[in-house]
Amino acid sequence: MGGQLRECQAELTRVLQDHALVSYGIAHDLRAPLRAIEGFAAMLDAHSGDALDATGRDHLARIRAAAARMAGLIDALQALSRASHDHLDIHDIDASLLADWALVELRDAEPARAVEASVQPGIRVRADERQLKQLFDHLLHNAWKFSAGRDAVRIVIDAERDGDIVRIHVRDQGSGFEPRHAGRAFEPFQRMHGPDEGGGHGLGLAIAQRIAARLGGRIDVDTVIGEGSVFHVELPASDGARPS
């Protein structure tokens, strides 16, 4: 029985390694033609852009925008693969500091946007620091993106501890989405909003869910159209200070 278990574990390891190599190879091979498209489009814009009519400039802008979207999709696919396969360094983490860090980066990227955000201090969990930062990146980018059109981005992050679990709540007052689709929100390529509403590649929440699962936790969402969403992240608690 022990021999069969070791064989199964070895086969699983091999399959995961093959999957990671295939994902890396696909991403690497896709980037080369993508760089060529973007490079030649940039040269055309620089050297001949003024000679193009309005239609030509529009077509060129669409080419460059499509190349940027493709690059973002490749990055997201690699992030999804890393969330599943990267080595984890689990130790006690101050999740509040990571959430603050993610918010600072969003503010720096769009300094003109009004932001009302608060993060409860002292939220401590057992996690991999790099992976948990990525989880916050995706959840907060989601809240940020779907607060477009509001007078301010409003985000509140708080938590409570229940035994060996910490429940972290990421609350926004963005556009929300149809609650009956909440179960599909964490599936890859499921877009709760169309492109005209700010919808992206549909991988951000899938990456966040994959990270939470690998850290020994889970994630779900409560949402109301026009009022916003609350993402609930459960993670193993640290032995440090408890959220009040």
CATH code for position 146: 3.30.565.10
Q: Tell me how far CA of residue 25 lies from CA of 1, 16, 29, 74, 81, in angstroms.
A: 36, 14, 6, 11, 12
Is 185 among the domain residues? yes
pLDDT > 70: percent of the chain: 74
Is 241 among the domain residues? no
How many folded domains does the chain comprise? 2
Residues 58, 112, single domain; the answer is: no
Is 225 among the domain residues? yes
Residues 52, 101, single domain; the answer is: no
Phi-psi region at 62: left, alpha or beta (left = phi > 0; alpha = psi -120 to 50): alpha
Rounded Cα distance between 13 and 89, Å, is 18
- Is 125 a residue whose pLDDT tops 60? yes
Using the 3D structure, point to which of 69, 85, 101 is the last residue of a domain. 85
User: Who has greater pLDDT, 108 or 241?
Assistant: 108
The total number of residues written for the chain in this structure: 244
Is 244 among the domain residues? no
- Is 158 a residue whose pLDDT tops 60? yes
pLDDT confidence of residue 188: 66
Residues 119, 72, single domain; the answer is: no
Is 242 among the domain residues? no
Rounded Cα distance between 136 and 205, Å, is 10
Residues 133, 219, single domain; the answer is: yes
For residues 86 and 131, the answer to whether their CB atoms sit within 8 Å is: yes
Query: Structure pTM?
Result: 0.70
Its domain, for residue 136, covers: 90-236
